[in-house]
Amino acid sequence: MPSPWGWFAVAACNRTGCARNNFEEPVALQEMDTSNGVLLPFYDPDSSIVYLCGKGDSSIRYFEITDEPPFVHYLNTFSSKEPQRGMGFMPKRGLDVSKCEIARFYKLHERKCEPIVMTVPRKSDLFQDDLYPDTPGPEPALEADEWLSGQDAEPVLISLKEGYVPPKHRELRITKRNILDVRPPAGPRRSQSASEAPLSQHTLETLLEEIKALRERVQAQEERITALENMLCELVDGTD
């Protein structure tokens, strides 16, 4: 399947003509595959990279375009499992320059839209001027009436450096909290319920008996501990 390089040659022309007037032969041919799906090309003039996404395909092939033969240089292929029903391309001014993002696609599935991010690995935290030259901004260079009247103008370029946010190195801080400071919020006062009613005589006697039994148990444990401590002291003295 020949690639649509002729399409890009035509798109590069303006009303005054083209650098190449012969469109009977393509500048370059690149064999892709045998699929008959619609080819969706996206061109980044800042990096001279063209991305080819086939409708119904599950891969994105990208090539570098140069002014010297062979004009087209294969770079790499991004592959995924599910085929794409469509593809969108984020303008350069919408990319995250702090992460060296050079392209972002929006892959259309049957029930969702998946972002696909392409980045260039860089160790420096500084703004990468070679990756982000001045790029066309949202302001039009000409109005529709001006263009129809025959005027031409270069696109209004903007710098992406202002959108660069350097990463913040967070400091590790350890704060000790006192669990006694965490108190439940004070709620509204409730009226006295049946559970908060005065205790009956029978209930009071039962509680007193339980308290007495607990005290006797505690006293017995204390006596046992005292006896064990005395035995330990005797063993230590005998060893010495």
pLDDT grade, residue 165 (50/70/90)?
A: low
Which domains does the chain carry? 7-131 (2.130.10.10), 132-162 (no CATH)
Higher pLDDT among residues 31 and 205, named by residue: 205
- Regarding pTM above 0.85, the answer is no
DSSP 14: B
Predicted local confidence at residue 146, as pLDDT: 92
Q: Which H/E stretch holds residue 59?
A: strand 59-65
Q: How many angstroms separate the CA atoms of 155 and 69, rounded?
A: 28
Task: Give the integer Cα–Cα distance in Å for 14 and 25.
Answer: 20
Contact 32, 38 (CB under 8 A): no
Query: Which alpha helices (DSSP H) does 89-166 contain, by range?
Result: 144-148
So what's the pLDDT on residue 16?
45
CA-based nearest residue to 4, from 53, 54, 41, 59: 41
The pLDDT tens digits for 72-87 are 899 999 998 899 999 9
> What pLDDT sits at residue 12?
42
Model confidence over 180-205: pLDDT tens digits?
A: 565 666 656 555 554 555 667 778 88
Place of tokens 């330990």: 232
Mean pLDDT throughout 17-26? 56
Mean pLDDT of 21-37: 70
Contact 40, 87 (CB under 8 A): yes
Quote the pLDDT of residue 8: 40
pLDDT value, residue 7: 41
Mean pLDDT over all residues of the chain?
79
Q: Give dist(CA 71, CA 194) in Å, integer.
A: 91
